[in-house]
Amino acid sequence: RDLRHPHESRRGHLWMADTMGKRGVVGCLALGVLTILYVSTDGKGHLASRTRTEASTIAQIRRNPLKTNGRPQLASRAWWDTLVQSVLNPTKKVLVFRSAGALIPKRESQLKGGEDAFFMSRLGGDEGVGNTDFLMQHSAEGYNKDRGSREGRVIARLEAATVLGVADGVGSWSQYKIDPGQYSKQLMMNTARASLEISKKTAKVASAMDILELGHERTKLKGSTTTTVACLKGNTLTAATIGDTAFVLLRKGKIYFRSPTQEYDFDTPFQLADLKMSEGYGQFSEPMDALTYTVRDIQPGDVLIMASDGLFDNLHDYEIEQVVAEKLQKSEGADAIASELIERARAHSLDPNFVSPWAQEKGQAEGFLGGTLRKFGVKAVFGGGYRGGKPDDISCVAGIAQYLIPGTDLFVPL
């Protein structure tokens, strides 16, 4: 299989094609040339033996690093040295998620900017990942929110993410004239900032739970949300989930782990809230109630999908596998995966004849036989004839694990 993941650098325009198969031979030859050139340099990155002309040229580059003889030149060999050393030394590579997020609000919540939110960020202490103040947080607000479903779609990318989150504001707050999306958006912003701050102090031990706790502590609003936060450090992924937002991990196109949901009953998930601010409005949870996970063997090529129930209620697992496999086979990235997943979920949510996961669960919970058995603590494993999707805000963050070469914008080919 020939996988290519084109990458547009934020500091320039650098496109990289990841190749396998026959093109791998060319890559090996190129690496050999790099090695020969590298070992023939001195410790400062310059050629060990130079002619008088070469020495003059190098002196000219130092005086005017941008141009020599009318042609642009590199100011130093530091970037080159970093690249070659990282390729030759596997311990220098940093595993990150090449990530993207996508969101479509349901029609009823578009005028309020949607009820879901997501973020993609980086642990500031990650060696080689770099900028400690780089942060992205997105909602549907301001994106043609009054023009219908497709125009309300939000797509965002972060090429080297190590912390990701999704939150789904609970719609029932609208009956108290409280915008359900405010809490989820503020929580995601605070959690993203927490990922940058906590890593400066405890980068080697920071986990998804640590980050979520700090973000929650700073969110002082009435409201509640379900949420999932994940953090990648080395080859270890930690995650914390509350309610029916969830995540799945895929390897070679197949789901090998899926987080369960937390529900009191059908369509009644656990909800994260500030207990003092939301006292008297219902039963809520704190971060300590979250389900936590640790996956210690994340590998390059693994795909992480995090999403609100708007996606998982309307897409079967086999459809998620199908979308991921198709996009990878076409050498498309995380943005294409996230976009296709929410588009399919949106279509299913509006189809009255589609047998969705939500309809199947509803049949198990409320069908005559299923409901009767449920009263005695027995969950039925068959549907009750229900059909249709569940219209809802749909948000998704997708990430493809890949090694980043520290100090550069290049990724090791999968």
User: What does the pLDDT look like over 132-177, one tens digit per residue?
Assistant: 344 555 565 544 444 444 445 778 888 889 999 999 999 899 899 9
Contact 269, 244 (CB under 8 A): yes
Query: Are residues 340 and 303 in contact, defined by beta-carbon separation less than 8 angstroms?
Result: no
Crossing angle of helices 180-202 and 208-217, rounded to 10°:
120
pLDDT at position 49 is 38
- Residue 226: predicted pLDDT: 97
pLDDT of residue 405: 87
Distance of alpha carbon 403 from alpha carbon 299, whole angstroms: 9
Give the per-residue pLDDT at 58: 33
Residue 232's nearest CA partner among 215, 255, 220, 249 is: 249
Residue pair 72/137 in contact (Cβ under 8 Å)? The answer is: no
How high is the pLDDT of residue 384? 54
244: nearest Cα among 361, 154, 133: 361
User: In the chain, what is the greatest distance between 2 CA atoms, to the nearest angstrom?
Assistant: 92
Mean pLDDT, the chain, rounded, equals: 76
The pLDDT of residue 90:
54
The list of the chain residues with pLDDT below 50 reads: 1-23, 25-26, 36-76, 125, 127-134, 142-151, 203, 378-383
Look up the pTM and report it: 0.74
For residue range 231-277, what is the model confidence (pLDDT) as tens digits? 999 999 999 999 999 999 999 999 999 999 999 988 899 999 999 99
